[in-house]
């Protein structure tokens, strides 16, 4: 897709053109990613309207970007959210540089970085907390939702999938599939970040829960007079694909069946998967492959989590550590 300069004299027109470009490449990004980018750009456009800056040179200036950052801080946005907004704008500026070279807009805006963020360790459940969660949730099932939710929980912990990857899985492979499960080989294949495919082993407990869910799914669709050949593995009450928000809501509801006071999220299960695999295997590269991380640096944060776990064991087990704790 090509764009000409004469249709983009104003910054709003360039934004509109960029959004059309994003829509044309939507297969390379998740729907949630596209939604976030559009939201960030719309926020910046509204800010420019408020400042009465609709000229290209002004909209790209370092001064206006810094003013935007200050504005977002006043709104109470966290450093992480501000950094995401700036990342969106940098991607936009890069695209403008490549697409509209005739503009020759000189700017240092791309060099602006967000506030330094504290390096927070991911929140993971312990092995015992995971065991209690599944034990309490595996009491007598009453509805098809119980079977579906358990299959989701087991698959999330068994595979460490991102929630967007989980909801994109189809029952069987088709040309539009973003993921599917091979029950015979006990593995699943998913399309992750960066448009990269990866295979992940399917655990025994996850396989059993999924097979039980597939039977319940078929019965539910039969009662709804809907073909069992519809693609999504995880469906909602309207027989459509379950959304990421829907999965997050089910995790929240079932947080009551746990011994932790924290709200349990799908990403917490992903962190728990990575942490427990690393604690057992000490194989960072394997964890990187299973999680679908492009860079090993993204996976290395779990080594800190593993060290934290070892440190806690030391503090509670070593005679000298016990003595020190008792005296403090």
What tokens appear for 153 in the block? 């929980």
pLDDT in tens, 145-175: 999 999 999 999 999 999 999 999 999 888 8
More confident residue, 141 or 258: 141
pLDDT in tens, 247-296: 999 999 888 766 666 789 999 999 999 989 888 888 888 889 999 998 88
Q: How far apart are CA 229 and CA 186, in angstroms?
A: 21
Element (H, E) at 117: none
CATH 1.10.150 domain span(s) along the chain: 5-111
Q: Catalytic positions, please? A: 162, 193, 267, 270, 293, 302
Among residues 278, 148, 283, 132, which one has the least CA distance to residue 211?
A: 148
pLDDT at 328: 47
Q: How far apart are CA 319 and CA 321, in angstroms?
A: 5
Residue 322 pLDDT > 80: no
Task: Give the contacts of 208 (CB within 8 A, at least 6 positions apart).
Answer: 154
Q: How far apart are CA 325 and CA 96, in angstroms?
A: 59
Task: Tell me the average pLDDT across 93-102.
Answer: 77
More confident residue, 186 or 24: 186
Q: How far apart are CA 28 and CA 33, in angstroms?
A: 10
What tokens appear for 101 in the block? 């070279």
**Domain with residues 127-279, CATH architecture:** Orthogonal Bundle (1.10)
Residue 49 pLDDT > 50: yes
* Mean pLDDT, the chain, whole residue set: 81
CATH 1.10.443.10 domain span(s) along the chain: 127-279
Are 157 and 130 contacting, i.e. CB atoms less than 8 angstroms apart? yes
Q: In Å, how far are 85, 105, 141 from 146, measured between CA atoms?
A: 38, 57, 6
Which segment of 12-21, 107-116, 167-176 scores lowest on mean pLDDT?
A: 107-116
What tokens appear for 5 in the block? 């300069």
pLDDT in tens, 208-239: 999 999 999 999 999 999 987 889 999 999 99
Give me the CATH code for the 5-111 domain, please.
1.10.150
Are 231 and 170 contacting, i.e. CB atoms less than 8 angstroms apart? yes
């Amino acid at each position: 897709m090509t764009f000409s300069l004469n249709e983009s004299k104003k910054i709003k027109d360039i934004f509109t053109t960029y959004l059309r470009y994003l829509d044309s490449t939507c297969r390379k990004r998740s729907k949630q990613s596209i939604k976030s980018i559009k939201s960030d750009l719309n926020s910046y456009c509204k800010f420019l309207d408020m400042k009465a800056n609709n000229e290209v040179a002004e909209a790209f200036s370092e001064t206006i970007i810094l003013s935007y950052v200050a504005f977002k801080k006043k709104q109470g946005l966290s450093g992480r959210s501000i950094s995401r907004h700036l990342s969106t704008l940098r991607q936009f500026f890069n695209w403008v540089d490549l697409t509209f070279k005739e503009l020759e807009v000189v700017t240092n805006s791309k060099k602006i970085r967000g506030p330094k963020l504290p390096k927070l360790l991911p929140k993971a459940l312990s092995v015992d907390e995971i065991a209690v969660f599944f034990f309490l949730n595996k009491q007598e099932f009453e509805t098809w939702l119980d079977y579906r939710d358990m299959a989701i929980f087991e698959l999330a912990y068994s595979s460490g999938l991102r929630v967007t990857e989980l909801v994109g899985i189809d029952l069987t492979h088709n040309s539009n599939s973003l993921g599917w499960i091979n029950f015979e080989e006990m593995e699943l294949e998913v399309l992750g970040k960066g448009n990269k495919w990866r295979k992940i082993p399917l655990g025994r407990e996850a396989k059993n829960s999924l097979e039980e869910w597939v039977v319940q799914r078929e019965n539910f669709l039969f009662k709804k007079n809907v073909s069992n050949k519809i693609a999504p593995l995880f469906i909602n009450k309207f027989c459509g694909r379950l959304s990421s928000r829907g999965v997050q809501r089910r995790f929240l509801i079932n947080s009551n069946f746990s011994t932790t006071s924290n709200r349990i999220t799908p990403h917490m299960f992903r962190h728990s998967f990575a942490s427990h695999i690393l604690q057992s295997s000490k194989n960072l590269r394997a964890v990187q492959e299973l999680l679908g991380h492009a860079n090993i640096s993204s996976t290395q944060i779990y080594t800190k989590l593993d060290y934290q776990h070892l440190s806690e064991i030391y503090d509670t087990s070593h005679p000298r550590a016990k003595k020190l704790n008792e005296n403090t």
